[in-house]
């Protein structure tokens, strides 16, 4: 069974940093592109970033480009999202997903003073 | 990065048919945008109903279908059921990044 478990969310002051993790199991992690998607409270889905199987290609949404960095460790079956210069508008539930087919339960990030 | 547009809300009668559309600010939506359609109910994670324009997952009810219609991606629901009331999001490949539409709140009433 495919499982994705996010962690690392929490309360952070605007301008601060946070690192999210997603541990995958039940499939060959190194064979798949992986993606982060977020959803602000009461708002729609926003595509954040994705990363190729070997980490050689990364793409970012305009709102996070230059501030967020996606990475992965295939030996640990783990996906990461390093978030810097956080803003209030980054407050959201962050999901990791494999191909929009399998989703984690999400982790809440709140950027607030 | 493109702006992806969807109808903010639609209403369909039980047993009726409705089409949701998904447009792009960069021009016509094509199969090269690999359109996805996701359904989200309150308190739940999204789930994909349609991918690559018209492909279905094993869990996609037969009453949902995807297509390209007059320069847009389209999701057609034929024979709406009360459990289809939800938010529907389209997702398009926009160069390297992907972009979600703002979502359509579908009411079955």
Q: What is the distance in angstroms between the Cα of A43 and the nearest Cα belonging to chain B?
A: 9
Of all residues in chain A, the percent with pLDDT exceeding 90 is 96
Q: In what order do the strands lie in the sheet with B4-6?
A: B4-6, B17-24, B72-78, B64-69
Q: What is the distance in angstroms between the Cα of A58 and the nearest Cα belonging to chain B?
A: 8
Give the pLDDT score at B1.
81
> For residues A111 and B70, what is the distance between their CA atoms, to the nearest angstrom?
42
Using the Cβ of B57 and the Cβ atoms of chain A, whether some distance falls under 8 Å is answered with: yes
Give the pLDDT score at B95.
83
Question: Do the chains contact at A106 and B1, CB–CB below 8 Å?
Answer: no
Identify which of A59, A103, A104 has the shortest CB distance to residue B97. A59
Average pLDDT of every residue of chain B: 96
Identify which of B45, B51, B97 has the shortest CB distance to residue A61. B97
Query: Each residue of B1-12: pLDDT tens digit?
Result: 899 999 999 999
Question: Do the chains contact at A62 and B91, CB–CB below 8 Å?
Answer: no
Residue numbers of chain A with a pLDDT score lower than 50: none
Query: Each residue of A43-54: pLDDT tens digit?
Result: 999 999 999 999
Residue of A nearest to B97 (CA): A59
CB atoms within 10 A of CB A14: 14
Closest CA to B89 of B52, B37, B30: B37
Residue numbers of chain B with a pLDDT score lower than 50: none
Give the pLDDT score at A67.
98
Give the pLDDT score at A35.
97
Give the pLDDT score at B61.
97
DSSP B43-82: TS--EEEEETTTEE-TTS-TTEEEEEETTEEEEEEES--G
């Amino acid at each position: 069974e495919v499982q994705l478990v996010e962690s690392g969310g929490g309360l952070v002051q605007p301008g601060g940093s946070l690192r999210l993790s997603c541990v995958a199991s039940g499939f060959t992690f190194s064979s798949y592109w992986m993606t982060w998607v977020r959803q602000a409270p009461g708002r729609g889905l926003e595509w954040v970033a994705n990363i190729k199987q070997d980490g050689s290609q990364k793409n970012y949404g305009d709102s996070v480009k230059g501030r967020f960095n996606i990475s992965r460790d295939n030996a640990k079956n783990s996906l990461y999202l390093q978030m810097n210069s956080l803003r209030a508008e980054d407050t959201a539930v962050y999901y990791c997903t494999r191909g929009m087919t399998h989703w984690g339960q999400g982790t809440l990030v709140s950027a607030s003073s | 990065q493109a702006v992806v547009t969807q109808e903010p809300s639609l209403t369909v009668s039980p047993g009726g048919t409705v089409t949701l559309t998904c447009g792009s600010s960069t021009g016509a939506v094509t199969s090269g945008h690999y359109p996805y359609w996701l359904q989200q109910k309150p308190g739940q994670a999204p789930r994909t109903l349609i991918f690559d324009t018209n492909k279905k997952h094993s869990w996609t009810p037969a009453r949902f279908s995807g297509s390209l219609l007059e320069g847009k991606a389209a999701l057609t629901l034929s024979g709406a059921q009360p459990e289809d009331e939800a938010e529907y999001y389209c997702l398009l490949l926009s160069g390297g990044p992907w972009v979600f539409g703002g979502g359509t709140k579908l009411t079955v009433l």
